[in-house]
Amino acid sequence: MDDSAFLYEVQDLLAGLVGEDVVVTAVRPVGGRPWPRVEVAFRLADPPPAWRGQTQGSAYAPLAPDWRYATGREEPSGYAQLLADEVERAARRLVSPRPPATTPSPEQVAERWHWLLDRLALNGTVHQEAHGRLAVIREDGTSFTVLVTPEQWALIGEPLDPQADDPQDFNQLNPEDTYLVFYEDDLIWSTRPELPPIGWGAEIGRQIRQAIAQGRTDVGWYAYAPGDPDGPVDPDRRWTPT
C-alpha cells in the first residue's frame, strides 16, 4: 500500500477517533523535516462566542513506512490512533497557548546547560563526547547517550510550571531505550540515535497482535512471568490488548 492509499484509510478512521470538539479537515504529506511526515489540519468545532484565539491548527507525525513498522503503527488503525493523540495535544495547545518563546541569552544557555549536567549526574558519571553528545555511565556499567546541544536544551530547559523542579523527565523506563534525543522541542527516549525516535516495545506488541490474529490464547502481558511459582494462576489476570 502506497502512502496515498494508506493516508486515505487513516483519514477515514481518524474522524471517529478525535473528540467532538475537533474537526479534521485534511491529512496530507508535508515537508519541513529531514524525514517524511504527515500533517493533520483541523479546526475547533464550536469555539466559545467570545473566543479571540486561533480556531485552526495542525498536528504532525513521521510518515516513513520503516518508521511506522518499527514503532508498531504499520496498520492504518494504529497510525490513525497516533494522529488522533497528536491532534488532541495540538488542540489543547491551541486553546491554551504557551507564552511566546524568547531567544535565551548566552548566560541563560550556560546556566541551563549546567543544570542539565548536574541533573544527569544524579544518574551516573557524565562525559561530553562531542558537541551535543553526552554519555551517562552508571555505577553498574550501563549507560545512555543524550543528544542535545546547549542551545537546543536552553529552549526547553526552563520549567513551564514555576513551581516545578524539573522541566524534563529523565526516567528511563526500559534499558533498550539507550538514547535521549532532542525531537520536536523535547527530549525523547529512543532505541537509536537517528531521528525520528523509535521507542522500545513495538516489536512485542506486534508479536502479540499477530499471535491473536492466529487464534492463539497463550499471549499477553503478565504481572508475573508464565509458570512463575510465585505468580497467580488465574488466567483472568492476564491482560491481552485488543
Instruction: For residue range 101-118, list pLDDT tens digits in order.
Output: 788 999 999 999 998 998
Long-range Cβ contact pairs of 128-137 (< 8 A, separation 24 or more): none
Query: Which of 4-8, 34-38, 46-50, 149-153 is the least confident region?
Result: 46-50
Q: Write the pLDDT tens digit of every residue in 78-96.
A: 999 999 999 999 999 988 8
Beta carbons of 231 and 224 less than 8 angstroms apart: yes
pTM over 0.75: yes
Q: Which residue has the higher pLDDT, 146 or 225?
A: 146
CA–centroid distance for 231 within its chain: 32
Domain ranges of the chain: 3-95, 106-190, 202-237
The residues, any chain, with a CB within 8 Å of residue 195's CB and separated by 6 or more, are: 34, 35, 181, 183
Determine the average pLDDT of the residues in 155-166: 65
Q: Which residues contact 58 (CB under 8 A, 6 or more apart)?
A: 39, 40, 41, 42, 90
Q: How confident is the model at residue 229 (pLDDT cuts 50, 70, 90)?
A: low
| 160 has a pLDDT exceeding 70 | no
Helical axes 76-95 vs 3-14, angle rounded to 10°: 60
Dihedral sign, Cα of residue 53, residue 42, residue 167, residue 165:
positive
What whole-number distance in Å separates Cα of residue 120 and Cα of residue 111?
14
